[in-house]
Chain A
Amino acid sequence: MKLLILILLIAALMLESSVTTLSLIIPIIVVATVLLKDSVVFLLAFVFGILLDILTFKMVGLSSLFLTFLVFLILMYERKFEIKTPSFIIFSTFFSSFIFLLIFQRGNIIVQSILSTLIGFILFEALRRVSFQKHKDD
């Protein structure tokens, strides 16, 4: 699962830095945090935030600050509520994408946030099934 998430993050980084302004890394980080609940997600958020900033000529460190904070918020939220649900993925991906785009971009923020949410939801359902299948096989 961790390897799959790493591959998805690399693909998202390449796409986000060359062809699209859609936030692709955010839904993957959100889904990874919810499914893995592991400290490795902090490292992924930090590294991919730095790489994204360098490749898109943003102020280096800002994206990693944002992503690290996002991972922490989700993990804090987990103490009180159930986060492994589609509704939480939709809620968290939409608001995190919206705030991220509000900081770094200008146009089509809402539409882009909705698309990121959709990506997050599809990814969550797909990875949850993969994880479920793996447990079943084991």
Chain B
Amino acid sequence: MQKRKNWIYIFVFFLILSFLIFLLFRLSIFRPVSSFVQSVFSPAQTLIYSVTLGFGLDQKIKDLENKNIVLQNKILEQEKLIADNKALRDQFAVSNPTSRSLIEANVISSPSFIPGITVAESLIVNKGQKDGVNVGMSVVYKDNIVGVVKEASEYTSKITLITNSSFSVISETFETKAQGVIKGQGAGEMILDNVVLSQSLKQGDLVLTKGEGDLKTLVMPNLVIGKILSVNKNPSDLFQVAKVKSLLDFSHLSTVFIVKGF
């Protein structure tokens, strides 16, 4: 009976302590504690993450996937150049290229159900507020959008991937210029929704960000979201929906770039 009583006291002590910590960590004065812990553990996390990156995917496949992304972007750039050239000839106008300032960040953690096989819902990178990272900034890799910064501490940041079920962004298809909203579905999937039936969606067409900026998010335009895999168009529905797949393999990303401004 005595032992049981002791446990109750110990339990109540830790319960109160946990509750106090829960409340105190809501205050910004405790942020350095979190930052210190994160900075202490981040080298080990990076090591473990990079070791697991080596498993599950052959180097040859990785190289091919990277080449595929580069080629897709080159095609996109070339088509943009053709379109620009045409516009120049037609209107004698030159559009200003957007300037970007990027922060290079290493992925230190990407927890997924089965590492290297299933896709994570978020990433944690080794750059934080001290490096100029703020909540809402978009994260890219080779002109492809990876996600947006959800939380930022002093030394690390959490990125919500575009496939996360809480993610959505206004988008436009490259060829047909159909506008809609990209919505993450979780488990590495996303859809292009809210596309009116009068607009055309084509399988294989690229989906780009339209660009949006408010107090919470800052997504730059013309970033590649992915490729349309299939289109579901039903005449009785108000909108048509397309399944979209990113050109990136999020489970094998080791470096990403955070867009500071555009």
Residues of chain A at the chain B interface (Cβ within 8 Å) = 14-22, 39, 42-43, 45-46, 49-51, 54-57, 59-62, 64-65, 68-69, 71-72, 75-76, 79, 106-108, 111-112
The interface residues of chain B, by DSSP majority, are classed as helix
A54 and B7 form a contact (CB under 8 A): no
Given contacts A17-B109, A20-B111, 13 further A-B contacts (CB under 8 A): A14-B44, A18-B46, A18-B109, A19-B49, A21-B120, A45-B14, A46-B14, A46-B18, A51-B41, A57-B124, A57-B153, A60-B25, A64-B21
Across the interface, B18 reaches (CB within 8 A) one of A15, A39, A61, namely A61
CA distance in complex: A68, B18 (Å):
8
Residues from chain B with a CB closer than 8 A to the CB of A62 are 22
A56:B111 contact, CB within 8 angstroms: yes
Q: Which residue of B lies closest to A60 (CB)?
A: B25
9 contacts between A and B (CB under 8 A): A17-B111, A20-B111, A21-B113, A21-B120, A46-B14, A50-B18, A69-B15, A72-B8, A75-B4
Q: Once the chains bind, are B37 and A55 in contact (CB under 8 Å)?
A: yes
> How many whole Å from B261's CB to the nearest CB in chain A?
24
**Which of A21, A60, A68, A106 is close to B112, meaning CB atoms less than 8 Å apart?**
A21
Contact pattern, B 12-23, Cβ under 8 Å of A = 1, otherwise 0: 001101111111
Asked whether any CB of chain A lies closer than 8 Å to the CB of B11, the reply is yes
B227 contacts the other chain (CB 8 A): no
Residues of A within 8 A of B45 (CB): 14, 17-18, 55
- Pairwise interchain contact B15-A22, C-beta atoms closer than 8 A: no
Contact A61-B25, Cβ < 8 Å, known A14-B41, A14-B44, A42-B10: yes
B221 contacts which chain A residues (CB < 8 A)?
A: none
Once bound together, how far apart are the Cα atoms of A42 and B10, in whole Å?
8
Closest 9 CB pairs of A and B: A61-B22, A60-B25, A72-B11, A18-B109, A19-B115, A18-B45, A61-B21, A65-B18, A64-B18
Q: Give residues of chain B (39-81) contacting chain A, Cβ–Cβ below 8 Å.
A: 41, 44-46, 48-49, 52
Interface contact B111-A60, CB-CB below 8 Å? no
